Amino acid sequence: MKTNFALVPKLLGADPRLAAKLARSFASQKKSMRIDHRFYGGRTHELGLLYFRLTPLCNLRCVMCGQRGDKGVLKGSFAAEEAKKIVPLETYKRLVDEIKHKSPTIYLWGGEPFLYPELFPLVDYMKDAGLVVSVNTNGTLLAKNAEEIVRRKWHAIFVSLDGFEETNDRIRGEGSYRRVVEGFEAINREKKRQGSHLPHMGIVSTVNNLNYKDLYRLAEAAQGFGLSWHIFNLGTYTNEAIVERQRSFMRERLDTEIGCLQAYDTGYNAGIDGLQLHDILTRIHAMETDHPIITVPALNPDKINTYYSELEIPVRTHCSVPWSQANIDYDGGVHFCADYPDYKLGNIKDQGFFEIFNGERARRFRNELKGSPDGIFPGCVRCYQNMLCGKKVKGF
Ligand SMILES: C[S@@+](CC[C@H](N)C(=O)[O-])C[C@H]1O[C@@H](n2cnc3c(N)ncnc32)[C@H](O)[C@@H]1O
Ligand code: SF4
Ligand code: SF4
């Protein structure tokens, strides 16, 4: 099984300039660990990847979602109130002007990014600044926007699909599978009509106990979608004991009250048969596909049960995220941890990005992380960002 780096050679063939920029982003992340992590006392000179959670709003309510799922709180009138805080386009433009010389890869997500009212002008501005821009979407609004996406030559779209039709709709809502497939069809039609190879499109599937037995059927169906990749994300899970350990740690060491991690205590990891899942993923990886299949994190067969049933055991350690990545939240808050935005570094509405990224709070967080056992905090054990770039634990 392969990790995300498998994407680069695939893109090299189709799009060498895009691939070269992506490779620079990965290199920047590696360099930050080789040099900045070791020598600069909590400062960093690298910026390889910048996430933007553009909006708290979404048109779906997927059961396992840490924001809007069974345990998520970003719903109803609270989400509507929060949406009043979204960052205006002009503030994002100022940020892009400030960071563009570092050429970070951009990852736009949400909520649902298509509900950010200035999405198209924002992507244009980022692309014109020379940045590689990817958009993570639930795909239900792709068909409606297909002509414009292709005309504006978006680089990459990550679309969430969690199973074949019935399974996906049980998780992501009635009719959502069909709408995503219509979205892929519309984009492919527009690419042909406009004579463009952009955007590259891929699926992200989040594994849980409702869908794992159905992933092969989805992978088969996906053969016809014109994809550049299919990522299987083993999913973010936690339990009460981990949440309590993280709560104490963050209170004592970083004066922070946590409120996000508990939303991942969903129970959708329960009962997953790791060996059966491994067998399914192996069959998927063995398929003759026209696109790479990527599992994050790739684990040894006998360790998949550990991933789902012994949540406190780390499979990746030594988080490198704060040395080369940040997430800009919908209200302008800057955080290292995209899924757990409790420890705030500052706000781009009030300060310049680099003032925040190397400010006192950022350095304090980095120094705590570096000094922690295995270079992670108690709540980091299934963090998706660390699954992408953390250090593989021996045997896993
Ligand atoms: C929160 S969504 C935001 C973007 C967009 N709304 C979407 O669904 O693609 C980002 C990604 O997180 C995934 N996700 C949701 N809940 C998750 C969980 N508990 N563990 C891991 N990934 C999850 C989604 O499936 C999606 O691929
Ligand atoms: S579409 Fe994305 S943000 Fe919306 S509920 Fe589903 S996973 Fe969460
Ligand atoms: S591993 Fe921990 S510190 Fe690193 S990004 Fe994830 S939650 Fe944050």
Q: Which amino acid is at 318?
A: H
CB 62 less than 6 A from any atom of ligand 2: yes
Confidence of residue 368 (pLDDT cuts 50, 70, 90): very high
Residue (of 201, 64, 211) closest to 139 by Cα position: 201
| CA separation for the pair 87, 238 (Å, rounded) | 30
Residue 143 has a pLDDT of 98
Token pair in block for residue 180: 């995503």
**Across all residues in the chain, what is the average pLDDT?**
95
**Probe ligand 2: pick from 58, 108, 140, max atoms within 8 Å of CB?**
58
**Probe ligand 3: pick from 247, 376, 384, max atoms within 8 Å of CB?**
376
Query: How far, in Å, is the centroid of ligand 1 from the Cα of 138?
Result: 8
Residue 14 has a pLDDT of 74
Q: Coil, helix or strand for 186? A: helix
Q: What is the pLDDT of residues 23-51, one digit of tens each?
A: 888 899 899 989 999 998 999 999 999 99
CB 206 less than 6 A from any atom of ligand 3: no
Q: In this model, does residue 6 exceed pLDDT 90? A: no
Q: In this model, does residue 235 exceed pLDDT 60? A: yes
Minimum CA distance residue for ligand 1 atom 16: 65
Residue (of 288, 307, 287, 309) closest to 299 by Cα position: 307
Minimum-distance ligand to the CA of 264?
A: 1
Residue 15 has a pLDDT of 83
269-284 burial by CB neighbour count: b if 16+ within 10 A, else e?
beebebeebbebbeeb
What percentage of residues in the chain have a pLDDT greater than 70? 97
| CA separation for the pair 130, 112 (Å, rounded) | 24
Minimum CA distance residue for ligand 3 atom 4: 319
Query: How far, in Å, is the centroid of ligand 1 from the Cα of 103?
Result: 25
The residue assigned the tokens 């940045």 is 131
Residues 106/327, Cβ–Cβ less than 8 Å:
no
Mean per-residue pLDDT for 376-396?
A: 96
| CA separation for the pair 368, 75 (Å, rounded) | 33
CB 325 less than 6 A from any atom of ligand 3: no
Sign of CA dihedral 304, 305, 306, 311: positive
| CA separation for the pair 232, 222 (Å, rounded) | 13
Query: How far, in Å, is the centroid of ligand 1 from the Cα of 65?
Result: 6
CB 66 less than 6 A from any atom of ligand 1: yes
Sequence length of the chain is 396
- Long-range CB contacts (within 8 A, 24+) of 76-79: 79/111
Minimum-distance ligand to the CA of 79?
A: 2
Residue 17 has a pLDDT of 86
Residues 271/212, Cβ–Cβ less than 8 Å:
no
Residue (of 171, 186, 79) closest to 141 by Cα position: 186
CB 264 less than 6 A from any atom of ligand 1: yes
CB 112 less than 6 A from any atom of ligand 2: yes
Query: How far, in Å, is the centroid of ligand 3 from the Cα of 340?
Result: 8
Q: What is the pLDDT of residues 110-169, one digit of tens each?
A: 999 999 999 999 999 999 999 999 999 999 999 999 999 999 999 999 999 999 999 999
Mean per-residue pLDDT for 369-375?
A: 96
CA dihedral 51→52→56→57, nearest 10 degrees, is -110
Minimum-distance ligand to the CA of 171?
A: 2
- Long-range CB contacts (within 8 A, 24+) of 305-308: 305/272, 305/273, 305/274, 305/275, 306/274, 306/396, 307/234, 307/274, 307/382, 308/234, 308/237, 308/269, 308/270, 308/272, 308/274
| CA separation for the pair 327, 42 (Å, rounded) | 18
Q: In this model, does residue 5 exceed pLDDT 80? A: no
What percentage of residues in the chain have a pLDDT greater than 90? 91
CB 181 less than 6 A from any atom of ligand 1: no
Confidence of residue 16 (pLDDT cuts 50, 70, 90): confident
CB 60 less than 6 A from any atom of ligand 3: no
